[in-house]
Amino acid sequence: MKQDERQEYVRYRLESAHTTYDAARVLAENGFWNSAVNRLYYSLYYAVNALLVLNSIQTKSHSSAKSKFSEYFVKTGKFDKKYGRLLSELYDWRQRGDYENIFEYNRESVLPLFEPVDEMIKLIEQEIHKIQ
């Protein structure tokens, strides 16, 4: 990927992170808790993916994106460990909410996720702006 393509991809992924986060808000406001968790996870995934692509770190799956984020950004101290845990937790929650037949999240479990997800997206954007 050429540098200008990489920059455009990063911009697109960050935009996707924000619109997906906004979708999670709408879903939560209407009581669609499992879908809100799905959208919260994807909002983080898009932001993390933008950061990885900008740094020429290739991934082939969601699991490898989690691993690479941890390896290059959490273990190096660029991001607090709590953000690695948040990404992993939301990945697991999304899997459970999407694929387990009888599993429903609720207001009490989902609403506290919004603030740390928003915070992590903003921190990723700050890191991206340092690099660009």
Domains of the chain: 3-131 (1.20.120.330)
> Taking 90 as the threshold, does the pLDDT of residue 1 lie above it?
no
List, for residues 16-71, the tens digit of each pLDDT value: 999 999 999 999 999 999 999 999 999 999 999 999 999 999 999 999 999 999 99
> Taking 80 as the threshold, does the pLDDT of residue 132 lie above it?
no
Share of the chain above pLDDT 70, in %: 100
- Contact partners, residue 17, CB within 8 Å, separation at least 6: 43, 44, 46, 47, 50, 121, 124
At residue 100 the predicted structure's pLDDT band, cuts being 50, 70 and 90, is: confident
At residue 89 the predicted structure's pLDDT band, cuts being 50, 70 and 90, is: very high
Q: pTM here?
A: 0.95
Helix residue ranges, H only, 30-110: 33-54, 62-69, 81-99, 107-110
Residue 80 phi, psi (nearest 5): -60, 150
